[in-house]
Chain A
Amino acid sequence: MIVFLLVFFSALMLVVSAFFIYRNAEQATEQSLKMQAIGITITLNSVLQNSDIKELKRQGSTIFSEILIDERWEGVAFISLYSSEGKVVFHSNPALIGQKFQEVIPLFKEKTPYYHYLTLSTGEKVFVTDTKINLDEIQYLLRVALHTYPVQSLVRHAKIHMLFLAFSAVFIILAGFFTIKLLSKIEKMQNRMKELENLSMLSRVLAHEIRNPLGSIKGFAQYLMKKISEPPLKEYLDIIVKESLRLERLTDDLSQYANPQSINLQRVNLMELIHETVLPFSIEHKEIFFELQVEEVSIKTDRDKIIQILNNILQNSVSALSEVEEKRISIKSRKINGRIKIEISDTGIGMDEEILKKAKEPFFTTKPKGTGLGLAIVGRLCEILKINLEIKSKKGQGTTVCLTLLESL
């Protein structure tokens, strides 16, 4: 987050500095226009002071146009001299001499030099400096109009520069934003991995530590079971043994979840394997109708892990069927596009969305004596064997678990 703020802040600084560069450029250009105008005004003034104005007027002088050509001032649009009635006395464009400009009259009241912009009939905007001068005790207005485009191009440059800076600022902000999002995603993943590692370490240690005392509890209980035949006592011992077995199963599940053994690849006849796995279930649960539609395929995979996966899924299906009328489990397997799809569906109680979402989480269970590791182990083993696992379920209708296997790992 701090990184993000830093990036954002520096980008903002870029924008601000860009703005100031622009502002500076604008001010600097106006300043330079003023300097130029004042320079020209002073020169013209001294020329006019040193010549006989009446004489020049009489000649209908083109002095201004001559000066303009002579001096080679760059960027001058025009120069002119107005009388206090607004009449043009001299003009760099001789055609305008003698014409009257009403709008000049009020300028005599302004403090000079008076700077302003004017738009010419050609549409060009020029920078104008009006200065009152006295020639033979009569007040005149000397006007110097400068083209703005040479300096305007400077401003344009600054504008482009600013735009460029602003764009890069936006780019930096966006890039920073996405980088931070990516980083946080990576961090999340790393945390998740750490969590899993910790969980697996904890599970491993727990599994071992539980098995130690369990060894004597279960052992002695079994020993006493053989010695004692008094009905209630034997019953209690039986409970001790059963509960010990449950704990033992938990430790098995835990260690399976925490550190599955390495992969042991084998050619497996899938049909046989499914039949073998289902057999003990069908013997134990005569009330359930097992329906098998299994294609004969041979795959290369880890036999024990596949059996474990199927066992856990079937175990869930069997317990989901305990309280429903129609008890049916169907197992189908088919080859589709070089992949093998195994579908295990039951007509059991099913799951609502909430349960379905959490079903694969370790330790999530809705059963009083469940460990909640059944599907978590399935998930883990599927990951290892690159099996795509999909669970579909509707409350009150049943559950379908889809496994999509590669033909060969």
Chain B
Amino acid sequence: MQTINIVMANFLTTWFDKLKETFLTDDNYKLLLTGLKNTLIITIGALAIGVVIGTLVAVLKYFSDGVPSLSPVSFICDVYTTVIRGIPVVVLLLIFFFGILSSMNGIAVAIITFGINSGAYMAEIIRGGINAVDKGQMEAGRSLGMSKLQAMRKIVFPQALRYILPAIGNEFIALLKETSVAGYVAIIDLTRGGNLIRNNTFDQYNPLAAVAIAYLVMVIGLTQIFKLIERRLSKSEKR
């Protein structure tokens, strides 16, 4: 018993010293903080862009379906979702960073790229949510004299939200983790921050463990938040 305690204590002291060395030399921990900040900025920015693009594409698609004169709109929406979903986001990021948007600041490029990427998935999520609402709801709205847009805004979309929100929660989490490839274009995100510390200190474990734990904690936190929102939503709907 005694020996085990001593071994434990020794191990902890050594580990603690190692942590100090790894994270405090040259203010290495600041790399993690900068990384975390950038990861959050990119994720939230991309999410905002994704929601806007996704809603727009889904609604455009809804209104152009079955209207011959709007078939080009529908076609463009289809091309967007198909192309974007068919290309790995890293490739997209490289194309934007070194090509199309090469004059722009890296984080801005990342926000735009991840936003455009996630918009394609959001569009499908939102379209699915809209389609899950009973057709009779739109008809009831129209029969009262609402325009298609009015009925969409007041009647269909609020009901679609209950299908959409949980999926958007998942997309948010996926996005957060996906941004870990931002390091490919020289952005210091959480992952690259950790990796830089590993490089600087030759500590192969602790920096990456810290990164992993940071992601895990954020994902668990987000999951809880979305659960709470969902519960609120279903309560207020009383269905």
Partners in one complex: no
Instruction: Give me the interface of A with B, judged by CB distance under 8 Å.
Output: none
Instruction: Give me the interface of B with A, judged by CB distance under 8 Å.
Output: none
